[in-house]
């Protein structure tokens, strides 16, 4: 305790630590940095701004798609006719299942109309309307697969930019830091002193670029993985819906 008391008295005699020196003034560091570091920070700011714009937009898009998908499936499974489902597609258009259903429904109608227009023989009227049948269930399956590919592409649009941001911004920030450290060492050589007052400001200015690169990369990594998993879940729902659509078509039109 006596030793601690002596240490406290010594700090008081020296005036104690100055208040506010523990903080980091990023604005001042950026203002004092060289033109190349400022250019690197501007590039990182643009990457970060675009990434956050994509994050907000895709979050809104996926939530809306999820709500509309739930509503669409409720209508689809309660309806007895595909025409009833077609009537509500415009109100739940954000769901990727709507595009798949409309593609399969269009292929069904094309085949059924072709079947109705085919006569039994030359100049021979049909005695009774025959049960509509599909000419090719595989064609319906191919239509559903094409629509699934289109819908997955819509969900994945702009998401790869987040992966680009996550992979490239740390290296851009590191480039700015390396250049800043080189400039700091040149300043040390010019002044001929290695004291903290000479070394510390240049190193601090250089490290701002690395911090900015990580600031842009970390959210991009997280949301890229999050959105990728959401697209996989939507793709699984689309595959399940395609199988359900094919089963209904096979039961009723073959």
Cα-trace Rg, the chain: 33
pLDDT digits (tens, 9 = 90+) for 7-38: 343 334 444 444 344 455 656 666 666 677 78
- What does the mean pLDDT of the chain come to? 81
Q: Give a yes or no: residue 4 inside a domain.
A: no
Confidence tier at 137 by pLDDT (50, 70, 90):
confident
Q: Give a yes or no: residue 36 inside a domain.
A: yes
Q: Give a yes or no: residue 9 inside a domain.
A: no
Q: Give a yes or no: residue 1 inside a domain.
A: no
Q: Give a yes or no: residue 2 inside a domain.
A: no
- The crossing angle, in degrees rounded to 10, of helices 137-156 and 96-117 is 160
Q: Give a yes or no: residue 141 inside a domain.
A: yes
Residue predicted with more confidence, 187 or 48: 48
Give the count of domains, the chain: 1
Q: Which backbone phi and psi does 46 adopt, to 5 degrees?
A: -65, -45
Q: Give a yes or no: residue 11 inside a domain.
A: no
Give the pLDDT of residue 8.
Answer: 42
Integer Cα distance of 203 and 178 in angstroms: 10
**Per-residue pLDDT at 169 exceeds 90:** yes
Task: Please give the residue range of the domain that contains residue 245.
Answer: 27-63+73-119+128-253
Concatenated DSSP letters for 97-152? HHHHHHHHHHHHHHHHHHHHHS-SBTTB--SSPPPP--S-HHHHHHHHHHHHHHHH
pLDDT digits (tens, 9 = 90+) for 200-253: 666 777 788 888 999 999 999 999 999 999 999 999 999 999 999 999 988 887
Confidence tier at 3 by pLDDT (50, 70, 90):
very low
């Amino acid at each position: 305790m006596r030793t601690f008391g002596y240490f406290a008295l010594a700090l008081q005699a020296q005036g104690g630590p100055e208040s506010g020196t523990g903080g980091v003034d990023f604005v001042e560091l950026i203002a004092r940095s060289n033109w190349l570091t400022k250019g690197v920070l501007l590039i990182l700011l643009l990457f970060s701004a675009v990434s956050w714009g994509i994050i907000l937009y895709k979050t809104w898009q996926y939530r809306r798609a999820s709500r509309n998908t739930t509503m669409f499936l409720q209508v689809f499974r309660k309806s007895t006719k595909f025409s009833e489902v077609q009537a509500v597609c415009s109100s739940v258009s954000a769901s990727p299942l709507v595009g798949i259903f409309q593609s399969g429904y269009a292929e069904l109608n094309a085949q059924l109309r072709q079947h109705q227009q085919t006569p039994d023989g030359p100049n021979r009227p049909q005695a009774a309307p025959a049960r509509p049948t599909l000419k090719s269930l595989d064609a319906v399956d191919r239509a559903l697969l094409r629509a699934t590919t289109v819908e997955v592409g819509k969900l994945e649009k702009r998401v790869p930019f987040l992966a680009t941001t996550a992979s490239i911004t740390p290296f851009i920030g590191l480039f700015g830091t390396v250049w800043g450290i080189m400039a700091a060492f040149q300043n040390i050589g010019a002044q001929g002193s290695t004291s903290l007052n000479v070394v510390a400001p240049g190193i601090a200015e250089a490290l701002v670029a690395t911090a900015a690169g990580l600031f842009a990369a970390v959210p991009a990594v997280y949301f890229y993985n999050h959105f990728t998993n959401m697209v996989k879940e939507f793709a699984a729902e689309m595959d399940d819906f395609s199988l359900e659509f094919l089963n209904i078509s096979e039961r009723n039109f073959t």
